[in-house]
Amino acid sequence: MAIKKRPETDTVWPDFFDYFRRDFWRELLGWRYVIRYYGMLTPLVLIALVVLFFYVDPMPPKKAYIATGQPGSSYHVLSQKFADFFAKNGFELVMVPTPGLDQGFLKLTDEKSPVNASFLTAGSAKEVDYPDLVSLGSLQYSPVWLIYRGSELSGPDAIERLRKMRIAVGMRDTNTNKIWRAMLGLHGIQDTNQPNFIEIPHQQAASDFAEKKLEAVFVVDDINSPTVQSILTLPDVKIFNFSLIDAYIKKLPFLEKVQLPRGAVSIKDVFPPADTELLATSITLLVEKQMHPVHQWLFLMAAKAISNEQQAFFAKPGFFPAYLDRSIPLSPIASQYYESGIPTVFNYFPLWIATLFNRVWVIALALFALIYPLLKAVLNWRNFPSDKLLGDYFQDLRDIEGDLLVARTREEIEHYLNELDDLEAAILKNWYEEGDLRAFYTLRMTAMRHVRANGRAKLAALPQ
């Protein structure tokens, strides 16, 4: 091969193309030999790559399932917005209606249920009881609404008067129903199965209240939910002002205090007529720990987009999603979101590719930090077969030289010279690391020629 003529000043591109023309293929040949040499380790490497592939899980499922709560609730509306966001990104979010958030949570924890996401009120679950669940953060505040008709419920006898009213208190075992029972229990009322406490869905309660079949409605939901709005806009209704609100919060720490400003429902009618303090609970989105990262990012990105488009009534703009309820730990994806926001790569690639890149990049950094001390050893593994092969060939040459020295007959000398030719042919068939080229040419051009010349001279000195 002709010697490469280099220009006076080398540039990057000629070297780059020359690498692919010559060195790249030599490198591939070298690694093929290394893999063949370490043949026993090859299956282990392949197994490790397969394990990494399944760990990264590059292909996300096309569907996710979310428990939505009751139709007409803010959770159902929010789920629909999530579903629309999923659809825009080429995925399907299947909405699964449930009587309440607690029932949706039960579906989330049921291994036989396809539901892998659900809303839950703050403090309703703990990590120790549900180790397979993680949080994506809180999405909104849901106030405790006690809306009634009639004379003002205030003063020390307000609860006693309330317990005698015909009031809808949510379906049995729902979040609304449980909070109702807990609040009555704080007032020493243990018998919560009274016939005037009507356990029906919120939409039915709103309808019955509008038709004056009920005197009051107790519901836990966002102010913007269709059900709550339909109740608040009815004529002659009042909102119960929790005068013992600070005491309730001390006893029920999953509750918080929010304020409904005067005229917030209707400026025209100045309703409510005064600032009203309400109890509220934050609503958290829980998912299965093994939910695919793409789906988790979709939920978080959708929550942020929804928060930016529609200002939360009881929070500052852009406040949600936020990690408020710490009973369940954040998923690693959610932790990354709250610490660093949405990765920039998401702006340039389809979501599943961006998510894969984001995961692989993190894993690659972790692996690099872990194996960097072993990097030189790995390079030595690459060079070792070449070093050892040349060493073996030098030893073979030495053995042949020794045999030639003690050979006495023409047949013996010719036999060892043929072995020398076979050795040279074997040497030419193999690959050698660039650092061994000097030893390679020393073996062929100097040592082997010297042994061959001595053998031929000895052969020529024998009588014919």
DSSP string, 157-198: THHHHHTTS-EE--STTSHHHHHHHHHHHHTT------TTEE
- State the Cα–Cα distance between residues 311 and 260, nearest whole angstrom: 15
Q: Domain map of the chain by residue range?
A: 63-139+284-363, 141-281
Taking domain 141-281, whether its CATH number is 3.30.930.10 is answered by no
Taking CA atoms, 277 is separated from 225, 237, 240, in Å, by 19, 16, 9
Where helices occur in 42-171 by DSSP H, the ranges are 42-56, 74-88, 101-109, 158-162
Do 141-281 and 63-139+284-363 have the same topology in CATH? Answer: yes
Taking CA atoms, 33 is separated from 22, 223, 385, 392, 434, in Å, by 17, 70, 8, 16, 14
Give per-residue pLDDT as tens, 259-279.
999 999 999 999 999 999 999
Question: One digit per residue, pLDDT tens: the chain, 464 residues?
Answer: 333 343 444 444 444 455 455 556 666 666 676 667 666 566 766 666 556 555 555 578 899 999 999 999 999 999 999 999 999 999 999 999 999 999 999 999 999 999 999 999 998 888 999 999 999 999 999 999 999 999 999 888 898 899 999 999 999 989 999 999 999 999 999 888 899 999 999 999 999 999 999 999 999 999 999 999 999 999 999 999 988 999 999 999 999 999 999 999 999 999 999 999 999 999 999 999 999 989 999 999 999 999 888 767 888 777 899 999 999 999 999 999 999 998 888 877 777 676 766 666 666 666 666 666 665 665 666 677 778 888 888 999 999 999 999 998 989 989 999 999 999 998 888 777 777 888 888 888 888 899 999 989 988 888 87
Q: What angle do CA 267, 269, 273 make, to 5 degrees?
A: 85
Count Cβ atoms below 10 Å from residue 145 Cβ, excluding itself. Answer: 24
Which of 50, 62, 136, 79 is CA-nearest to residue 351?
62
Sequence-distant (6+) residues with CB within 8 A of 282 are: 121, 122, 138, 140, 141, 142, 256, 324, 325
Structure tokens given for 369: 């930090």
Which of 330, 287, 356, 353 is CA-nearest to residue 55?
356
Q: What angle do CA 153, 154, 156 make, to 5 degrees?
A: 120
Sequence-distant (6+) residues with CB within 8 A of 161 are: 153
Q: What angle do CA 285, 84, 300 make, to 5 degrees?
A: 35
β pairing state of 238-239 and 133-148? antiparallel
Residue 138 three-state SS: strand
User: What radius of gyration, in Å, describes the C-alpha atoms of the chain?
Assistant: 39
Domain 63-139+284-363, second-level architecture: 3-Layer(aba) Sandwich (3.40)
